[in-house]
Amino acid sequence: MAFLVSGTLRVAAQIADAQDSLGRKVVGGTAWPSSLPAPSRAPPRPTLALPSQGKYSVQGPRVALTLSSPEVSASTVAILESVFQTLGFERCQRREASVQDFLEELTGFREQLDAHGAPMGCVLVALVAPNGQLRQPQKLVRELSGCEALRGCPKVFLLLSSAPGAAPKPGTFLTGLSELCGRCPHWSLLQLLTEVFCRTAGESSGATCCPVLQSSLRGALCLGDVDPWGPEPEPSPSAQYDLSRDRAALFLAVIRDRPGAQRDVEALEGLCQTLGFETTLRTDPTAQAFQEELAQFQERLDTRRSPVSCALVALMAHGGPQGQLLGADGKEVRPEALVRELSHCRALWGCPKIFLLQACRGGHRDAGMGPTALPWFWRWLRAPPVTPSHADVLRIYADAQGNSSGGFMPGSCDQADILMVYAAAEGCVAYRDEKGSDFIQTLVEVLRATPEGDLLELLTEVNRQVCELDVRGPDCNERRKACLEIRSSLRRRLCLQA
């Protein structure tokens, strides 16, 4: 009898696991802190095949909240509510508060969701404040990310800067988002935002200012009032970057005292060769050499005879506690400064610029999020899937009236056509062993399998697979989780197939 009860409970546990909001396979495995020795990987857990892999199911309640400061115009709030209704959010709340009280308001909102007692389908929060007042949005995002009712659910944040006073009409970003959500309901939210960015971007002093999205989503997110698993329309050729000209790549990799780093370099070199990139490799650069090599790379692109249509820069090194890159000499360089350097390259104006950053961004090892209250027999049978604490979040930084992102993004150079991919969330460890890093090795596998895919969507798949890995190391016997961070101001679909 005990055997039958145990078997029944195991089946029930598997069924419960299948009800995760993201349709996906649960894949086990391990990776290791990049600063530690590299033991062998543990065998993966059995996989559980689920339908609709890689897409969020948002069939549960959708809740939206607008937090606006008193200086924000009523017309801006009104167009936001219209966008929410177009996206199918049936519960829309509106609160006016000073920016200093936003955190307290979000805490109350979180408690309200947890008291509801049932999981949500999706939540959308719009934070609207005058230019420059919303200085630390990370705290606001973290407050809601810890909500038990939202575990595994997509959480979308619109961080909008707004000029004080009444505005005669809503800005390009909000009107474009509202129109496209109604006209292209099959498109994923990342596709919609890319098109909106194309419409919103404005020229300024020889540079193109653009909104920015920051994503840790693990699957495609479709909020239109349609079957979320229906076929997506093919984008027109004009909606895609033209990569028919030359492609150039630069690898700056600290190999010394980083076991497995050479494997990452070799894997990326092979991938770039397949994708038609002309690659330059520099190993063990000092902090100053990071800057000098990137400046020389930019100069070569500006002076070459044949034009380039895409640039890829891979930065691989140890990371500092505040997200700095550490050169082979142990000195620091800010990755954002390197991005800003290449964004001024004349040969790359209007062309996609891809940055891959394989480095720690702090020392935190994420234990992930799981159900907080479970009967003893669930805990005894099998621990439920744990979600990385930073996963399933999409932030959009934009100007409610104007064209640029309003300076919301910390460290952002506020330029268009830039894609940055971090191997770890802010403040967290990036993992690597003697076989290479989880991020780079998974990236290469996914791009080799589907080189014709939209890069933003493929990176979301890479994040899904990385998030499903269980991480253990010699300094800790408990499982830890990792999560990518993707920042994009791309204005077109980006396909790297040669």
Annotated active-site positions, please? 318, 360
> What phi and psi values does residue 27 have, to the nearest 5 degrees?
-110, 130
Which stretches does DSSP call E strand in 400-495?
418-422, 432-433, 436-437, 471-473, 476-480, 485-488
Secondary structure tally for the chain: helices H, strands E: 12, 23
- DSSP per residue, 37-58: --PPPPPPPPP---SSTTEE--
Long-range contacts of 377-382 (CB under 8 A, 24+ apart): 377/9, 378/9, 378/13, 381/6, 381/9, 381/10, 381/13, 382/10, 382/13
Phi, psi of 191, deg, nearest 5: -65, -45
Pairing of strands 318-319, 332-333: unpaired
Cα separation, 112 vs 93, in Å, equals: 12
Q: What are phi and psi of 251, to 5 degrees?
A: -110, 120
Q: How many CB atoms lie under 10 A from the CB of residue 4?
A: 8
Q: Which residues pair with 358 in a beta bridge?
A: 316
SS3 for 155? strand
128: which strand partners? 68, 160
End-to-end CA distance of the chain: 60
